[in-house]
Amino acid sequence: MARDDAPPAKPRIDKLGVKPGMRVAVTGVPDAGFLQELEARTGDVSTRRRARCDLLFVGFANRNDLARLRTHRGFITQDGAIWVVWPKGSKDVDEDDVRDAAIAAGLVDVKVVAFSPALSALKLVIPLANRYREKG
Protein backbone atom coordinates (compact mmCIF):
# COMPACT_ATOMS: atom_id res chain seq x y z
CA MET A 1 0.00 0.00 0.00
CA ALA A 2 1.30 3.46 -0.90
CA ARG A 3 2.12 5.87 1.88
CA ASP A 4 0.21 9.15 1.90
CA ASP A 5 3.45 11.16 1.92
CA ALA A 6 5.17 9.10 -0.78
CA PRO A 7 5.73 10.90 -4.10
CA PRO A 8 3.46 9.72 -6.90
CA ALA A 9 4.88 6.94 -9.04
CA LYS A 10 6.59 8.15 -12.20
CA PRO A 11 4.48 7.21 -15.25
CA ARG A 12 5.90 4.38 -17.35
CA ILE A 13 6.14 6.61 -20.41
CA ASP A 14 8.45 8.94 -18.45
CA LYS A 15 10.59 6.07 -17.11
CA LEU A 16 11.09 4.99 -20.72
CA GLY A 17 12.20 8.47 -21.78
CA VAL A 18 9.48 9.05 -24.38
CA LYS A 19 9.28 12.74 -25.23
CA PRO A 20 6.83 14.67 -27.42
CA GLY A 21 7.81 14.63 -31.09
CA MET A 22 9.96 11.49 -30.89
CA ARG A 23 9.81 9.02 -33.78
CA VAL A 24 8.88 5.68 -32.17
CA ALA A 25 8.30 2.14 -33.41
CA VAL A 26 6.93 -0.83 -31.50
CA THR A 27 7.02 -4.45 -32.57
CA GLY A 28 6.21 -7.61 -30.67
CA VAL A 29 5.39 -5.90 -27.37
CA PRO A 30 2.24 -7.56 -25.95
CA ASP A 31 0.76 -4.51 -24.21
CA ALA A 32 -2.01 -2.68 -26.10
CA GLY A 33 -2.23 0.03 -23.44
CA PHE A 34 1.38 0.96 -24.16
CA LEU A 35 0.52 1.99 -27.72
CA GLN A 36 -2.17 4.30 -26.36
CA GLU A 37 0.35 5.87 -23.96
CA LEU A 38 2.77 6.44 -26.83
CA GLU A 39 0.11 7.97 -29.07
CA ALA A 40 -0.85 10.37 -26.28
CA ARG A 41 2.79 11.46 -25.88
CA THR A 42 3.98 11.56 -29.48
CA GLY A 43 1.95 11.30 -32.66
CA ASP A 44 4.79 9.64 -34.57
CA VAL A 45 4.27 5.97 -33.62
CA SER A 46 4.43 2.92 -35.87
CA THR A 47 3.77 -0.75 -35.16
CA ARG A 48 6.43 -1.65 -37.71
CA ARG A 49 10.16 -1.12 -37.67
CA ARG A 50 11.20 1.97 -39.61
CA ALA A 51 14.31 4.00 -40.24
CA ARG A 52 15.55 6.85 -38.04
CA CYS A 53 13.65 5.93 -34.88
CA ASP A 54 14.47 7.77 -31.71
CA LEU A 55 13.11 4.80 -29.77
CA LEU A 56 12.44 1.25 -30.95
CA PHE A 57 10.56 -1.06 -28.59
CA VAL A 58 11.00 -4.73 -29.47
CA GLY A 59 9.48 -7.70 -27.68
CA PHE A 60 11.33 -11.01 -27.42
CA ALA A 61 10.08 -14.29 -25.96
CA ASN A 62 13.02 -16.47 -27.06
CA ARG A 63 16.78 -15.95 -26.60
CA ASN A 64 17.53 -17.27 -30.12
CA ASP A 65 15.59 -14.34 -31.62
CA LEU A 66 17.87 -11.83 -29.85
CA ALA A 67 20.37 -12.21 -32.72
CA ARG A 68 18.08 -9.82 -34.63
CA LEU A 69 19.30 -6.96 -32.42
CA ARG A 70 22.13 -6.33 -34.89
CA THR A 71 19.54 -5.65 -37.61
CA HIS A 72 17.32 -3.60 -35.29
CA ARG A 73 20.30 -1.39 -34.50
CA GLY A 74 20.20 -0.06 -38.06
CA PHE A 75 16.73 1.38 -37.49
CA ILE A 76 17.61 3.80 -34.69
CA THR A 77 19.27 7.21 -34.90
CA GLN A 78 22.86 7.42 -33.67
CA ASP A 79 21.65 8.76 -30.33
CA GLY A 80 18.48 6.65 -30.28
CA ALA A 81 17.74 3.57 -28.22
CA ILE A 82 16.28 0.10 -28.46
CA TRP A 83 14.13 -1.04 -25.56
CA VAL A 84 14.11 -4.84 -25.41
CA VAL A 85 11.01 -6.15 -23.67
CA TRP A 86 10.62 -9.73 -22.41
CA PRO A 87 8.36 -11.71 -20.05
CA LYS A 88 9.38 -11.53 -16.38
CA GLY A 89 10.53 -14.86 -14.97
CA SER A 90 10.85 -16.45 -18.40
CA LYS A 91 13.06 -19.51 -18.82
CA ASP A 92 13.30 -18.72 -22.55
CA VAL A 93 14.93 -15.28 -22.27
CA ASP A 94 16.32 -13.24 -19.39
CA GLU A 95 18.29 -10.06 -18.68
CA ASP A 96 21.67 -11.78 -19.12
CA ASP A 97 20.60 -13.12 -22.53
CA VAL A 98 19.62 -9.61 -23.60
CA ARG A 99 22.93 -8.14 -22.39
CA ASP A 100 24.95 -10.83 -24.20
CA ALA A 101 23.02 -10.23 -27.44
CA ALA A 102 23.44 -6.46 -27.04
CA ILE A 103 27.22 -6.78 -26.79
CA ALA A 104 27.26 -9.01 -29.89
CA ALA A 105 25.24 -6.34 -31.73
CA GLY A 106 27.58 -3.51 -30.68
CA LEU A 107 25.15 -2.06 -28.15
CA VAL A 108 25.40 -1.36 -24.43
CA ASP A 109 22.70 -1.45 -21.78
CA VAL A 110 22.07 1.71 -19.81
CA LYS A 111 18.83 1.17 -17.92
CA VAL A 112 16.45 -1.58 -16.81
CA VAL A 113 12.80 -1.00 -15.88
CA ALA A 114 9.79 -3.00 -14.79
CA PHE A 115 7.81 -2.40 -17.99
CA SER A 116 4.63 -3.86 -16.50
CA PRO A 117 3.68 -6.48 -13.92
CA ALA A 118 4.37 -9.15 -16.56
CA LEU A 119 7.22 -7.60 -18.57
CA SER A 120 10.77 -6.31 -18.02
CA ALA A 121 12.69 -3.98 -20.34
CA LEU A 122 16.33 -3.10 -20.93
CA LYS A 123 17.42 0.06 -22.76
CA LEU A 124 20.23 -0.43 -25.29
CA VAL A 125 22.21 2.30 -27.03
CA ILE A 126 25.13 2.62 -29.41
CA PRO A 127 28.24 3.32 -27.31
CA LEU A 128 29.09 7.02 -27.33
CA ALA A 129 32.56 6.37 -28.76
CA ASN A 130 30.99 4.62 -31.79
CA ARG A 131 28.04 6.86 -32.56
CA TYR A 132 29.21 9.24 -35.23
CA ARG A 133 32.44 7.75 -36.50
CA GLU A 134 30.49 4.74 -37.86
CA LYS A 135 28.59 7.02 -40.23
CA GLY A 136 31.65 8.81 -41.53
User: By the 8 A CB rule, do 62 and 102 touch?
Assistant: no
CA distance 22 to 43: 8
At residue 8, the pLDDT reads 76
At residue 4, the pLDDT reads 64
Average pLDDT over residues 52-79: 96
Quote the number of domains for the chain. 1
Query: Is 29 a domain residue?
Result: yes
At residue 136, the pLDDT reads 46
Query: Is 69 a domain residue?
Result: yes
Query: Is 136 a domain residue?
Result: no
Query: Is 4 a domain residue?
Result: no
CA distance 67 to 93: 12
Query: Is 44 a domain residue?
Result: yes
Statement: residue 73 has pLDDT above 60: yes
Model confidence, pTM: 0.90
What residue numbers bound the domain in which 112 lies? Answer: 12-130
Query: Is 100 a domain residue?
Result: yes
Query: Is 85 a domain residue?
Result: yes
24: domain CATH number?
3.40.50.150
